Amino acid sequence: MTGLAAAVAAFNLICTGTTTSGELLDLGKPKTPVTVILRVDLGANRWCSGDCKSTAEIKEVRENSIIFRMGEDDNGDDFFYVNRETGELFDRTRSFTLKWITLTQGNCEKAPFTGFPVRKF
């Protein structure tokens, strides 16, 4: 990947929105304002959030979305993506066993890439 292509493929996303947690059938809980900072490198297929102590593999890059997490088992499911066209962020984690859900929604803006942690080995 050339230097320009690598620079285009690596960026931060500054996402603002709201988050709420509660019982699966009670999403009427108050929403708390939240800012989520994501560091994304599409060329390396890696991402991290917050203080970025470690990176994770991007689950899938599509034409119109970046799926960071997606999984389901008997205990619950997890789905976290950003729409590349609208900037919409959607992060939902459900626990079927605990009957609990955490839902974060917002909008993201692209910002300069601030890097990943240095590998220890």
* pLDDT per residue as tens digits for the range 54-94: 999 999 999 999 999 999 888 888 999 999 999 999 999 99
Mean pLDDT for the chain overall: 90
pLDDT for the residue 23 = 80
* Cβ atoms 75, 95 nearer than 8 A: yes
CATH topology (fold) of 3-111: Lipocalin (2.40.128)
* Cβ atoms 75, 54 nearer than 8 A: no
* Sheet-wide strand order for 32-41: 56-57, 46-49, 32-41, 10-23, 100-111, 88-95, 76-83, 65-73, 60-61
Least confident of 19-23, 43-47, 80-84, 115-119: 19-23
Whole-Å CA distances, 78 to 8, 28, 32, 66, 91: 28, 20, 20, 14, 8
Query: Higher confidence at residue 99 or residue 15?
Result: 15
pTM: 0.85
Enter the tokens of residue 61.
Answer: 């890059």
pLDDT for the residue 112 = 97
pLDDT for the residue 10 = 97
* Cβ atoms 89, 14 nearer than 8 A: no
Q: Give the whole-angstrom CA distance, residue 57 versus residue 96.
A: 25
Would you call 93 helix, strand, or coil by DSSP?
strand
